[in-house]
Amino acid sequence: MAPALSLNLRSLSLQPPARRSEPAAEEEHQPSEPAAEEEHQPVAAATPSRPPPPLPDFNRPAWGAASTADLARSWGVLAACTVGGRGGRYGLAAHADTLLAKATSLFGPRLVDAGVRATFARVFCAGESLEEAVAREKVLQAAGVRGILNYAAEAATSSSPAGDSSPHLAAGCSASPSDDAADSRTRTFLAAVGATDTRPLSPAEAAAGGGIGVTAIKATALGCPDMLERASAALLAGHGGRERDRWAGLPPATHGGLPALAHALEAGGLSRDDLAAWDGFVGRVASIADAAAAHAALTGGGGMRLILDAEQSWVQPAVDALAVALMAAHNAPGSPFAVLQTYQHNLAATPARLAADAARAGREGWVLGAKPVRGAYLLAERARAAAAGLPDPTCPTAATTHAAYDAAVVERLVPAAAAGAAHLLVATHNTASVEAAVGAMAAAGLAPSTPAIAFGQLCGMRDFLTFTLGAAGYRAYKILPYGPLRETLLYLTRRAQENADVLGNVGVDLALLRAELAGRVFGGGRKGA
């Protein structure tokens, strides 16, 4: 049987990626049904100069070291996420926080915690301590997959809309640079950096320069979210608050140095207290970047990447400006350490911003670090814009987002990575987008283990993509959230809400898991505890 999802390399051309047909209604978008994806031909790239490497077949996935019990648990949890309606918006995933609160009041926290620990947390999280997360990564590594140790902490600003249920970790802003909670989280992130493994996983990876450790941080865990919102407004103030021209009013030096950025914030009217809080925030992020750079130098291997996650658009301008300053400072060509910024393609302004950052990197001689995502805050972005009477910053349709995402990866980032001008982590659960990226790599003549390109999925989501990529020699990563159960529960419910659509459409995952389980149970395949 011909693999339904495999790419036809002969069909690769220099055309831009074909647009997905517009779904009748956005709720009806079925991202990963094999039949639908067969029709999606998004890849466009140059004709290969040498025979392309074999492409992974996601219809015949590898499952790594997953035991039969693990697969059965994943099947059960994913099946539970589909309960409650098409697209998941009215189902368990979308209302995980309310359901959890109700269950806790009915059965008590101990029973609920035990139930969640054995099911959802086991599938979507990597444990309650750094040690447990590292142990989980070792299991992944045996299957050619690395973990991104990710302490589960995040916060929202006071002005987040009601539907945005992020915990407000930094309640009240400390004007002092020594904010105890943020300092404590900095130490947690530093411990994760120290535990990051950069040893090669395979001979191919060793030959390609070694393993690359990745760590990810969230700005709102390290600084006051309200200050970040005010700092973002101050940066935008210079050019009439136009989000899509966010860099237009800033002097070029703003992107080349932290002092110039602080000066721009002061000129934009940021208060003394906020400037002090900004200094503390920058100090924490910079200390993590320095530690990751030192870890890369000490441990050898292929190096380290530090990813700045992207959050709501009202805190992002300040975080983006810091990210660009850090990239300019750290991302020298040939450096084993690089900072990556996250680009959310469900925001209409993102392609222009990505182009501006790439152009700036080229002019200033540093390597762009990019983690393209579709973006997690669609509903919150729309709700806030509607409530404030502001223009909706998001793409009008899912199809526009998909096209922007694939174009960024296929047309801009993979070619830039091939030319040594970008480090890229393709962060998506969308099979067609992963296929587009591996197709573009093949067309550019890049080996799967090329150090400049990696792939990432969240723990427990689209495992068939991650394990198949890892088995095929691509640099495949799983985000491994960890932390005390009550804190990871907040993370879990939030991810469930953000990904309600994706979790409600896990038909492919369920079908592939069923087939593997049936093979193991009835076909004499591998059985685990």
How many helices (H) and strands (E) in the chain? Answer: 22, 8
Contact between 213 and 197 (Cβ < 8 Å): yes
- 398 contributes a contact to ligand FAD by CB under 6 A: yes
- Give the H/E segment covering residue 46: none
Least distance in Å: CB of 435 to ligand FAD? 12
Query: Would you say 287 or 400 has its CB closer to ligand FAD?
Result: 400
Q: Which one among 41, 141, 215, 344 touches ligand FAD, defined by CB under 6 A? A: 344
Q: Which one among 456, 473, 481, 483 touches ligand FAD, defined by CB under 6 A? A: 456
- 212 contributes a contact to ligand FAD by CB under 6 A: no
- 346 contributes a contact to ligand FAD by CB under 6 A: yes
- Dihedral (CA of 147, 153, 159, 162) sign: positive
CA 59 remoteness from chain centre: 23
Q: Which one among 141, 160, 331, 430 touches ligand FAD, defined by CB under 6 A? A: 430
If you ran DSSP here, which 8-state letter would residue 394 be given?
A: B
Q: Which of residues 28-47 bind ligand FAD (CB under 6 A)?
A: 29, 31
Least distance in Å: CB of 137 to ligand FAD? 15
Least distance in Å: CB of 203 to ligand FAD? 26
- 313 contributes a contact to ligand FAD by CB under 6 A: no
Query: Would you say 321 or 458 has its CB closer to ligand FAD?
Result: 458
Least distance in Å: CB of 271 to ligand FAD? 28
SS3 assignment for 186-209: HHHHHHHHHCCCCCCCCHHHHHCC
Q: 304 pairs with which residues across the strands?
A: 213, 337
Instruction: Name which of 291, 107, 116, 282 is nearest 196 in CA terms.
Output: 291
Q: List, edge to edge, every strand of the sheet that includes 476-482.
A: 145-151, 476-482, 453-458, 422-427, 368-373, 337-344, 303-308, 212-217
Query: Would you say 59 or 401 has its CB closer to ligand FAD?
Result: 401
- 310 contributes a contact to ligand FAD by CB under 6 A: yes
Distance from C-alpha of 466 to C-alpha of 469, rounded to nearest angstrom: 5
Phi/psi for 52 (5° steps) reads -70, 150
Stretch that binds ligand FAD, among 38-46, 165-173, 229-237, 493-501 (CB under 6 A): 493-501
Query: Identity (one letter) of the amino acid at 515?
Result: A
- 376 contributes a contact to ligand FAD by CB under 6 A: yes
Query: Would you say 247 or 343 has its CB closer to ligand FAD?
Result: 343
Least distance in Å: CB of 483 to ligand FAD? 17
What's the token pair of residue 261?
């950025």
- Residues near ligand FAD, by CB under 6 A: 26, 29, 31, 309-310, 342, 344, 346, 373-378, 394-395, 397-398, 400-401, 427-430, 456-458, 479, 498-499, 501-502
